[in-house]
Amino acid sequence: MHKRQISRREFLRLSALTAAGAVLAGCKQSATTTEPAKETVAAPPTEEAQPTAVPAVKYSEAPMLAGMGLPPVEERLPEKPLVVQPVESLGEYGGTWHRAFLGVADFHALGRLIYEAVLRWPRDPKDPIQPGLAESWEWSEDGKALTLYFRKGLKWSDGAPFTVDDVIFWWEDIENDTNITASRHIEWVVNGEPMQLEKIDDVTIKLKFAGPNGLAETTGLAFHGCQWPLGFERFGFFAPKHYLTKFHPKYTTGATYEQFEEKAFNFNTELPVMYAWKVSQWEAGATEMVAERNPYYWKVDPAGKQLPYIDRIHYALVESGDALNLKAIAGELDMQHRRISFSQYTVYQENAEAGNYHLLIWPTAQASTITLFPNQSYPDPKYRELLQNLKFRQALSLAIDRNMINEVSFLGQAIPRNTTVVRDSPLFQPDIEQYYAEYDTAKAQALLEEIGLKKGSDGFYQFSDGTTIELVIEGTDAVSGANMDALELVTQNWNDIGLKTVLETMSRDIYWPRANSNEVMIATWETDRGLVPMVDPIYQFPFDERSWMAPAFGTWYKSGGEKGEEPIPIFKEVQELYNQYKVTVDAAKQIEIGKQIVRKATENLFCIGTVGQPPSLVVVKNNFHNVMEKHTSDWIIFTPGTMDPPQFWIEQ
């Protein structure tokens, strides 16, 4: 609370500054315009000068682009550029955005700033899907065909036109080439049939499916609909055909797939891109990376200024998260959310004034930060039966002291709750957030007695054959230290009500395959994907082997019944709901089904949550503008991607 006041005051001060800036704007702007003016005078070609005479000039460009021999901005922009509403104010051009990252493996440091998909996740998660590269889209009556209308005149960062051929290239030569993509993304396979593409003209394409496709808009086009391969995520919907065919073995003899991957990777400085900043300086082992503005970027602000406002992003390579945080505390980062550590909150506050920055707190879209997955497909039949009993799981949930976990591990800043989607999600239903989330050991024990469990002489509950129930929680300390403290507390809580529980921790390289292959009795992890869970619903029901509430049932669902084990009815019911979800094209109906799935998952305690929506910290320099103050952060929506980083601006 204290912090928020400061930031608001800071904010008022800043808006006052901006107001004062408006008065000064005259001289400031004349100062900025003199330079390009000079350049235009210096450059003999008259192209620049003429449009100024013609009244048609409505778009303007960044001063740094003048004199680079580029075609005029009107020709670089598409016919109808996307107009981005600034979060607060119209910006000025210029500046370098300083950030820090941990190297190639930290791909998201760049990946989340270059969210440019065919359709877009909305800025407010409750809004519908927004236009992106495609300005409009249209479903056929039966939901089996989707026509995409791309903006006319879109161009790659090297000036080459962007057409639907770039989409077809991706589909035929990347997504359908098993040397590159092991198996097609599920949203493009309906009823076992891969989609068919029909090119209508250069900017219009029809996607045809074997049945109605309810995942196309969200998972397909808003989430995966980026430029392939988006770093290691290896998804996309288009790729620069004119450039990449030179390295594709199908088109060029002697080319190799290794080389193809290398050239397609976003850190290749020659790669044509569709996003706002293109990596312009990077080599393996280097200690810095620079991304510069794409002069052909296809978005403008309401005043007609071509975005992005900021000229370049500079990434300093640091060797550890601690070093990154030190940099941020010293005020060397202009705006960063990624890897800023909440546990250093007080240090950040103490140094805010000296570092000339302020802090924002964005809750994370984690349904629960430490989630327990009682494995309902556990091989041992005795434990399987026990874990499949809802009353048993309810007792487990009631026995957890969530307030204690919140205090010990999260400075009281998270929300004690059970596993259900986060509050900002369109699927959120307030009445189930606290489902069996109170701390009530008496009720928990009553439930255990009710299902016929009796305590032995050692005070621990036993199976009916007289053997003691021994629960094993397995976890990995690689996630975070705070989580280990919380897991110790849960173990203690369960032992306290008479359930013998041990906690085993191991390296993640051992843990992860164990959990995926159905060997763990009670697995633990953080359950993110709490904002738009249906994109990858592994925490809602057994969806694949990563659904640790029943990996064997998940494998069954994913393989269409070929592998794994047939799920018990309750899971089949939810899987059936998701099957419906997948074939529902209407967004409102989809939300209804989604809500049912979420309700079933929560009310059956498929996973047991502890505390959720933990805070995450954002460091913003006081001269860095248009960052949203309130936002639920999630990688699925590319935080801060949905708030359009190209409209961030730095006051010079």
Partner 1 sequence: MLAYIGRRILGMIPTLFIVSVITFIIIQLPPGDFFTTRAIEAAMSGGGQDKETVKTMQERYGLDKPLYVQYWRWVSGFPRGDFGYSLEWNSPVLPIVLQRMGYTLQVGGLSLLFMVAVAIPIGIYSATHQYSFGDHALSLIGFLGLSLPGFLLALLWMFLGIIVLRIPVGGEISKGMADQPWNLAKILDYLNHLWPPAVILGLASTAQLQRIMRGNLLDVMGQQFITTARAKGLKEKKVVNKYGVRAAINPLISVMAMEIPKIISESTIVGIVMSVPTTGPLLLRALLTQDMYLAGTFLLFMTLLLMIANLLADIALAWADPRIVYT
| Tokens 């013998």 belong to residue | 500
For residues 443 and 546, which CB has a smaller minimum distance to partner 1 in the complex? 546
For residues 373 and 383, which CB has a smaller minimum distance to partner 1 in the complex? 373
Q: What is the smallest separation between the CB atom of 491 and partner 1, expressed in angstroms?
A: 22
Q: Are 59 and 80 in contact (CB under 8 A)?
A: no
Q: What is the smallest separation between the CB atom of 265 and partner 1, expressed in angstroms?
A: 6
Q: What is the smallest separation between the CB atom of 103 and partner 1, expressed in angstroms?
A: 7
Name the packing angle between helices 481-496 and 402-410 (round to 10°). Answer: 160
The CA–CA distances, whole Å, from 230 to 170, 174, 176, 509 equal 13, 13, 17, 24
For residues 224 and 417, which CB has a smaller minimum distance to partner 1 in the complex? 224
Q: What is the smallest separation between the CB atom of 516 and partner 1, expressed in angstroms?
A: 8
Q: What is the smallest separation between the CB atom of 607 and partner 1, expressed in angstroms?
A: 16
For residues 192 and 285, which CB has a smaller minimum distance to partner 1 in the complex? 285
Q: What is the smallest separation between the CB atom of 141 and partner 1, expressed in angstroms?
A: 34
Q: What are phi and psi of 310, to 5 degrees?
A: -85, 130
| Amino acid (1-letter code) at residue 605 | L
The CA–CA distances, whole Å, from 636 to 533, 534, 632, 633, 645 equal 9, 11, 11, 9, 16
Strand arrangement, sheet containing 470-476: 368-374, 522-527, 470-476, 500-506
Q: What is the smallest separation between the CB atom of 611 and partner 1, expressed in angstroms?
A: 18
For residues 349 and 434, which CB has a smaller minimum distance to partner 1 in the complex? 349
For residues 73 and 317, which CB has a smaller minimum distance to partner 1 in the complex? 317
Q: What is the smallest separation between the CB atom of 268 and partner 1, expressed in angstroms?
A: 9
Residues 6+ away with beta carbon under 8 Å from 532: 121, 125, 218, 223, 425, 634, 636, 637
Residues in the chain: 652
Q: What is the smallest separation between the CB atom of 580 and partner 1, expressed in angstroms?
A: 23
β-sheet bridge partners, residue 336: 619
For residues 111 and 498, which CB has a smaller minimum distance to partner 1 in the complex? 111
Q: What is the smallest separation between the CB atom of 419 and partner 1, expressed in angstroms?
A: 16
Tell me which H or E stretch contains 500: strand 500-506
Q: What is the smallest separation between the CB atom of 14 and partner 1, expressed in angstroms?
A: 22
Q: What is the smallest separation between the CB atom of 213 and partner 1, expressed in angstroms?
A: 20
Q: Are 306 and 59 in contact (CB under 8 A)?
A: yes
Please count the CA atoms within 13 angstroms of the CA of 392 that sit on its side-chain side. 19
For residues 18 and 268, which CB has a smaller minimum distance to partner 1 in the complex? 268
CA distance 315 to 307: 20
CA distance 499 to 248: 59
Chain positions contacting partner 1, by CB under 8 A: 96, 98, 103-105, 108, 178-183, 232-234, 257-258, 261-262, 265, 267, 283-288, 290, 314, 316-320, 322-323, 326-327, 329-330, 332, 351, 354, 478-479, 507-510, 512-513, 528-529, 536, 538, 544-546, 634-636
CA distance 599 to 596: 5
Q: What is the smallest separation between the CB atom of 466 and partner 1, expressed in angstroms?
A: 37
Name the packing angle between helices 587-603 and 569-582 (round to 10°). Answer: 160
| Amino acid (1-letter code) at residue 430 | P
Q: What is the smallest separation between the CB atom of 233 and partner 1, expressed in angstroms?
A: 5
The torsion angle over the Cα atoms of residues 410, 414, 415 and 419, rounded to 10 degrees, is -90
For residues 350 and 470, which CB has a smaller minimum distance to partner 1 in the complex? 350
Q: What are phi and psi of 646, to 5 degrees?
A: -60, -20
Q: 393, exposed or middle or buried, with CB in 10 Å at 0-12, 13-18, 19+?
A: buried
For residues 496 and 536, which CB has a smaller minimum distance to partner 1 in the complex? 536
Render 570-628 in DSSP notation, one character per residue: HHHHHHHHHHHHHT---HHHHHHHHHHHHHHHHHTTSSB--EES-EEEEEEETTEE---
For residues 328 and 361, which CB has a smaller minimum distance to partner 1 in the complex? 328
Q: What is the smallest separation between the CB atom of 507 and partner 1, expressed in angstroms?
A: 8
Render 96-141 in DSSP notation, one character per residue: EEEEEE--GGGTHHHHTT----SEE--SSTTSPPEESSEEEEEE-T
Q: What is the smallest separation between the CB atom of 182 and partner 1, expressed in angstroms?
A: 3
CA distance 267 to 280: 8
For residues 169 and 525, which CB has a smaller minimum distance to partner 1 in the complex? 525
Strand arrangement, sheet containing 615-621: 335-336, 615-621, 357-363
Residues 6+ away with beta carbon under 8 Å from 384: 375, 376, 377, 378
Cis peptide, bond prior to residue 567, ω within 30 of zero: no
CA distance 93 to 60: 10
| Amino acid (1-letter code) at residue 119 | L
Render 69-100 in DSSP notation, one character per residue: -PPPHHHHS-SSPEEPPPSSS------EEEEE
For residues 459 and 481, which CB has a smaller minimum distance to partner 1 in the complex? 481
Q: Are 502 and 471 in contact (CB under 8 A)?
A: yes
For residues 305 and 558, which CB has a smaller minimum distance to partner 1 in the complex? 558
For residues 328 and 593, which CB has a smaller minimum distance to partner 1 in the complex? 328
For residues 224 and 393, which CB has a smaller minimum distance to partner 1 in the complex? 224
